[in-house]
Structure 1
Amino acid sequence: MKPKSSGDNPWRALALVGALGFEVAICTLLGFWITKWIFGTTGWMITGIFIGLAAGILAAVWLVRKALEGSDE
């Protein structure tokens, strides 16, 4: 029988998924709000949303790499 590792914890997996969603959402909203505050035009707000989304995805990738750093796979 294989001993359980810390990666087998369902609460840890739930926390990781929640953190991923939270990170992407916050980065996207920040991109929107910052460009709305600075420029105020629709074109720049859409650009800010995409920049925030890209930053959120990069942060999510970094978080997953950090979470899987100690796993066997």
Structure 2
Amino acid sequence: MKPKSSGDNPWRALALVGAMGFQVAICTLLGYLIANWVFGTTAWLIVGIFVGLAAGILASVWLIKKVLVDSDG
């Protein structure tokens, strides 16, 4: 039987998934709000939502990379 590593903790995995969801949701909301405040038209709102979504996904990727590097060693 192999020993458990610190990366096998289910609470840590739950926290990671929660943080990722929070980041994507907040970035998308901020993209919407900023586009609405600056431009106010429907086309720019859609652009703002997609830019916010992309920023949230990028932030989640950086978070996963950080967690994987920390759990290696």
The two structures have a TM-score, normalised by structure 1, of 0.93
The one-letter amino acid paired with 2:42 is: T
Query: Which residue pairs with 2:61 in the alignment?
Result: 61
The one-character-per-residue Cα deviations of 1:12-41 (angstroms, maximum 9, x if unpaired) are: 000000000000010000000001011111
SS of the residue corresponding to residue 70 of structure 1 reads helix
The number of equivalent residue pairs is 72
Deviation larger for 63-72 or 38-47: 63-72
For the aligned residues, what is the CA RMSD? Answer: 1.0
Q: Aligned equivalents of 1:70 and 1:3: distance in 2?
A: 18
1:30 aligns with 2:30: yes
Tell me, in whole angstroms, the C-alpha distance in 2 between the residues paired with 1:70 and 1:59. 17
Ranges in structure 1 where 5+ consecutive residues have no aligned partner: none
Aligned to 1:13: 13
Query: What stretches of structure 2 of length at least 5 have no aligned partner?
Result: none
Q: Which has the higher helix share?
A: 2
Match status 1:49 vs 2:49: yes
Residue identity over aligned pairs, in percent, reads: 76
Point out the more displaced range, 42-51 or 1-10: 1-10
Q: How many angstroms does 1:70 deviate by?
A: 3.1
Q: What is the CA–CA distance in structure 2 between the aligned matches of 1:50 and 1:43, rounded to whole Å?
A: 11
Aligned equivalents of 2:59 and 2:70: distance in 1? Answer: 18
TM-score, normalised to structure 2's length?
Answer: 0.93
